[in-house]
Structure 1
């Protein structure tokens, strides 16, 4: 799978079978998604619920949250299998860094990819990482870390 960040809250996921767009506009291949619900096409399952998008593909779960909030037990149970979390950080249109970190720690994904407007520094400082980005994140299930969480900073394309 290859993930690229198209700017703001928009990401493109290129899987073996289809391209998935998530964010302000959501699509699964040629299917445009405009309402919450569950969708499936080409071996990819997509669920849109309450500001959260989940994509199941290639035996992995990708989660998307623009404005995260501390999760209830039932919400956490549903989202606890997320392998890669795309989450808004740094405030403004996105979640404040402190709250985003709480949600990240609740879900405990293997990989975190932040989306941000201006303030990435507070997030990278808290995580103790460099803010240097890359253009895409290419991976398979076997590439995901087993022990420690990995943070991937993407450059907007």
Structure 2
């Protein structure tokens, strides 16, 4: 139990939010100035000297210049890094568009290849049928010759008169 200096109340250390070791380590002057939270809130807020977080915030002019230079250097580095990442992002976007175009072209070519294969199979079937009919009729056409000697009319004309 701790006795508070302002209101002379006795307070449990757990309620005072202090450990027993910390309380024992306090000197008599500090214990004499120890007040409860209710009394502390009633005090004026003009002096914040007992706030342990605060430190001196006065910077020397040389220190401020050094920190300003460091911040300027960091800001310049950040700007260069931003430009580099923006450039890379733009290049990546261009490459993505090109890949999508090539992918579209590949799909179109695959479709055309399938269509042409079907046509080749159809023509192959027709050619096979024509060759079969030609063999059945025992007629073979090797090609059309140039000149009168190879003319189909000259060759077939004497055959018609016989």
Question: What's the TM-score, normalizing by structure 2?
Answer: 0.14
Which structure has the greater CA radius of gyration?
Answer: 2
Tell me which protein shows more strand as a share of its residues: 1
